[in-house]
Each structure stands twice: as C-alpha cells, then as structure tokens.
A and B are shown apart, each in its own frame.
Chain A
Amino acid sequence: MAKYYDIDDILADEELVPAVFLEAVNGVGLLQSNETNRIEPRSKVELPFWLASELHLRQAASVNVPPCYNKKTREEIGADGAHVDLRSRCSYFYQLGCKIVQLIGDKTIGSLLLVAFQIRYKEVLIKAHTSASILGPKFLSLLTKEETKLYDAAKSSTAAFKSWRMGGPRFQKASVLGRKRKPIGE
C-alpha cells in the first residue's frame, strides 16, 4: 500500500490487457454491444489491468500477455532496441511488464524488459546529456513514461551542473508564479 497515492502506479494499472472470461458475469456494462448486461463465459475482452488482475486472481477471468510483449516486439528490440516506438505500444512498458510477470509467471518477459532497458537506458542518457533541444521531440516520442522521466532527470542534472559551474545557486521566483504572463496593456 506504499504506492497507494502513486499516480504512475495508478496509470500503469489503466493499461488494457487482453483477457478471457471464465465465468458468466451479471449486471455489468463493460461491453457496449450487448443489452442484457451479461457477459458469457469464454468471451474475449480488453480490460484495464486493475480489473483484469483481480478477476484473474479469483479465477473469474484469465489474463493473456499483452501484445506489446509479443514476438514481433521482441524481434524489433533485439534488432535495434533504442529506436523501437514503445510509447505507442504501452506507455508503461516496464511497470506493466513487472506486474504481468507476477500475475502469470511468464519468465521470458523479465529478460525482455532487462535487455530493452539496458540498450535504451544508454541511448537516453547520451541523448539527454549531449543533444541540442532540436533533436529532442522526435526521439522523445519513442520513449515510455518511465524513460521520459529518466531523460528529464538527466537533462536537469546537466543543467544543474552547468549553473553550478557558472557561479552557484541563486534566488528564484516561486515556481507556481513562473508561468504567469503579464496581462496585455499593463
């Protein structure tokens, strides 16, 4: 429960995973198509992870491995991990991966995550420390949420190092006021 208020943890739980119902369920409007609000056994659905995992634990549904960890993605990461667009597949690639492993115990996902992270981590740090901001946007759109955080952290540490060399910290305006623009005509 340490992560109860952790927004990233909550949003990672919102990612959709494919699941198959093993039991019939009454009175839920999960599927828009049917009018009886009843879900039959063996119906395939995409459920958010928070729901799918609980149903999986109670044997009401069974969770399958999401498509972002399939063979195609594995091959792409094996070929050139740093330039695979992971964000469009799953914006919480690593966090969701860790949760899925705990749930279904597919051992191969662990090594996939590790390989992907090792290759991409290096690339993220190099880009963050050196590249001009013009290069940024195109590369940034490939990163997952976790990697974007790393990128920002690396960028800010470079900036902090530079400002330290230029002559120490200075007073700053409170950051909430920072975005304020002067009203026109003043």
Chain B
Amino acid sequence: MYGRKASQLLKEFVSGEPGQLTGFNNDVFAQVIEECDGNILHLQALLRKMQEEGSNNQTNKNADHFGALVHHLSLVRNKRCLMAYVYNRAEVIQNLGWTIKHADLPAAVKEKLSISENEYFGKHSSNLQSYMLDLNLDLAVDMVPPKDPYIKVRVLEEIGEVLLSDQIANLAMHSILFLKRIDAESFISQGKMEELTS
C-alpha cells in the first residue's frame, strides 16, 4: 500500500515522549523517497501512454487517467508526511537552542540529529546568541520567576574553578553551594547541578 512507510515514520516520531528526539530515521526516510521515485516513473509512463493515444484527460476519464491520479495522490501524501516529519523535528531542535548552548550539545543528543539538522541547530542557536548579544541581555535565564536572588545547589558533575558574577567558585562534585540564580541556571539546565529546596 502506498504511503504506509511514510506514516510509520510519523508513528515512530509520536511514540516518543513529547519534547524528546529519536534518532533521525535515515533508512525509512530513504525508502519513502524511493517509493516516490517509483510513483513518478509510473505516473510518467501513464501520462505518456495517454498522450500517445491522443486522449484528452479533461474529457476522457479512462483507466489510465485514474491510475495516474492514484500515483499523483500518493506523491502528494508522501511529501506531506516527509515534510511533517522534518518540520516537527525542527521545532524540537529550535527549543533546544533555548536550554543548551551549541558547544555543549551532548554527544547522545548530537548523534540523533541528521547532518542538516545539526547545521540548523548550530545556526539557530548562534543567531539566538548574537541577538542576545545585541540586546545585551541573556534571554535564556529566569525562565521561572525568581523569589530570591540566591539559591542553594548541589553540584552533580566535576566542573572545576569557574568565574561567577560575584566570586570565583570551586565547583567540585557533590559540594553544596549558595549561588546567584543567574549563575546557577545554565548549569542546572545542562544537568550539572540540581536545586535544593530548603
């Protein structure tokens, strides 16, 4: 059945949790495009046959006409599926730009993206960065309205000596610190720290 493969691609995408990415499915993607190529060949063959017979497809709707129609519809359908797959993944990737900086994209996430998606992410986040630089304002902090400028955090990964906005801190693993929210926020979103409730 035409279009089956393409819908499998989308089913795989929705079966993952929202906001999570599964690996870009190159195999099925290529198979769908192959199916499209087959459709085009059939479509052209049928159109040629109709031309040779000299029948006008506006007036004379014969079996060849409907065969060509089925192939045309399959092409349109497959195109829609592939576009939706790429588009919906691109939306997830755009949201990544707000939480993680490009340089810090972990390998586990990186390998799930296709080459062009990686490029897209890089360009999108660098645009975002340069926009924030122009504004002289980090838009990615304070996603949660603050109650107190300082928070208590526990360091989950060895980070080392870091220059923070008000101090130089040694962020050793398992240490518990009292930091400015703006300093801690990016570390938390990268999973290197966790916030402690008092």
- Which A residues fall within an 8 A CB radius of B? 4-8, 10-11, 13-14, 23-28, 30, 38, 48, 50-51, 54-55, 58, 60, 167-180
- For chain B, give the interface size range: 35 or more
Pick from A10, A168, A173: contact of B189, CB below 8 A: A173
Query: Distance in Å from the Cβ of B164 to the closest Cβ of chain A?
Result: 16
- Chain A residues whose CB sits within 8 angstroms of the CB of B169 once the complex forms: none
Assess the B66–A24 pair: CB atoms within 8 A. yes
B7 CB contact (under 8 Å) in A6, A10, A30? A10
Q: Mark B155-198, 1 if CB is under 8 A from A, else 0.
A: 00000000000000000000000000000110011110011010
Residues of B participating in the A interface, judged by any CB pair closer than 8 Å = 1-3, 7, 10-11, 13-14, 17, 19-21, 42, 45-46, 61-64, 66-71, 73-74, 77, 80-81, 83-84, 87-88, 92, 96, 99-100, 106, 108-109, 144-145, 147, 151, 184-185, 188-191, 194-195, 197
What residues of B have a CB within 8 angstroms of the CB of A180 in the complex? Answer: 106, 108, 191
What is the minimal beta-carbon distance from B106 to any residue of chain A, in angstroms? 7
CB distance from B2 to the nearest CB of A (A): 7
Given A4-B84, A51-B70, A180-B108 in contact, is the A27-B19 Cβ separation under 8 Å? Answer: no
Contact of B73 with A28 in the complex, beta carbons under 8 Å: no
Report A-chain residues with C-beta under 8 Å of the C-beta of B92: 176
Q: Chain A residues with Cβ under 8 A from B145's Cβ?
A: 169
For residue B3, which residues in chain A have a CB less than 8 angstroms away from its CB?
Answer: 14, 48, 50-51
Known: A5-B83, A176-B20, A176-B96. A171 touches B66 (CB 8 A): no
A-B contact list, 24 entries, CB within 8 Å: A5-B88, A6-B84, A10-B81, A11-B7, A23-B63, A25-B70, A27-B42, A28-B70, A50-B77, A51-B73, A51-B77, A169-B144, A170-B197, A171-B144, A171-B185, A171-B188, A173-B189, A173-B191, A174-B99, A174-B100, A175-B99, A176-B96, A177-B190, A180-B106
Q: How far is the CA of A149 from the CA of B33 in the complex (A)?
A: 31
Q: Is the CB of A171 within 8 A of B70?
A: no
Contacts of B71 in A (CB 8 A): 27-28
User: In this complex, what residue of B is CB-closest to A24?
Assistant: B63
Task: Say yes or no: A26-B100 contact (C-beta < 8 A), given A172-B189, A177-B106, A177-B190.
Answer: no
Name the distance in Å between B77's Cβ and chain A's nearest Cβ.
Answer: 5
Residues of B within 8 A of A13 (CB): 77
Apart from A8-B14, A11-B10, A50-B77: 11 A-B pairs, beta carbons within 8 A: A4-B83, A6-B84, A7-B14, A7-B84, A24-B62, A25-B66, A26-B62, A27-B68, A28-B67, A51-B77, A58-B69
